[in-house]
Amino acid sequence: MKKSCLIIFISCFILFSNCSSNSDTPIIEEEIEEEETPEEVPNIKWQNWYLSVPLNRGDGSATSIFYQDIVKDNLSEQASKYFYKNNDDSYTMYTKFTGFTTSGLSPLGDKYCRTELREFWRGVQSTADNWSMATGTHILETTLKVDYVEGNGRTIVAQIHGKESAGISGNPATVKIRWNSGTIQIDYYTKPDSGKPWTSAFDDKINIAEVGNDIFTFKIKIENGKFYYGLVCEAKSINIDYTLVYDYVGNGYIHENYFKTGNYFGWHDDYEKAAQVTLYKVKTEHN
């Protein structure tokens, strides 16, 4: 009798153990599943940008391509020659002088052509969606590689661009970040003479560092009305923290602004020379 009770007790213990083990399994699986679904962060928040390519939009001006067509890969065959996505999620930005510029048809030797992104800082699809240096902190971090630049070896890869508005004349290319035969340069406007607009007649230039054809990240920050830059290029062991360049608001600058990044080719002597930039990531902050 005692032996039979012992057998029944052992059998029940084994059955209870198996049931407990099986009931715990789904809970463990659920916890693992939750940990393996992190939020994805895009390299480019496309709603904050539109693309310009040097193709005739019908009136002699360059073609604007908006974020919906970029996200859906709905570019024309012609436009896809100038801008396309690569297998590593980077984007190739090719350009050459075609005569079709953002300000209209241009003859050789006059204006320049570009394949370039223009910012809508709040994501509002309007060229009135711009920010002021007088308030907040504004940051652009753009990660690129210049594949080649023919002709004079110069292309602009990032900008702060001013916007003409009521009572404020001119559309200054206030800060230009130029790749010049492998060297990163800053070309920035300074305070004009009394009564004069902000133009390149009053600019200054700084050579920053040699990045060659390696990947680099250029950083622009406007804080308390002042312009700072930073530069990182791991292949060249470059890591320059934010460095003060110029106090814009302190010198009377009142334009509203927007960021730009891409391939603004500094060549207009023929229709043959070309430049190509690979864009890996763009990040902006406005606080």
Written as six digits, the tokens of 16 are 């209870």
Question: Who wins on pLDDT, 2 or 84?
Answer: 84
Angstrom CA distances, 191 to 93, 167, 178, 187, 253, stand at: 33, 18, 21, 14, 8
Give residue-wise pLDDT tens across range 213-240: 999 999 999 999 999 999 999 999 999 9
Looking at residue 130, what is its pLDDT? Answer: 96
Give residue-wise pLDDT tens across range 87-115: 999 999 999 999 999 999 999 999 999 99
pLDDT band at 53 (very low <50, low <70, confident <90, very high): very high
Looking at residue 8, what is its pLDDT? Answer: 41
Give residue-wise pLDDT tens across range 237-261: 999 999 999 999 999 999 999 999 9
Looking at residue 169, what is its pLDDT? Answer: 86
Q: Which residues contact 163 (CB under 8 A, 6 or more apart)?
A: 127, 130, 171, 255, 256, 257, 258
- Does the structure show a pLDDT above 90 at 264? yes
Q: Could you name the CATH architecture of 87-97+121-286? A: Sandwich (2.60)
d(CA 96, CA 273): 6
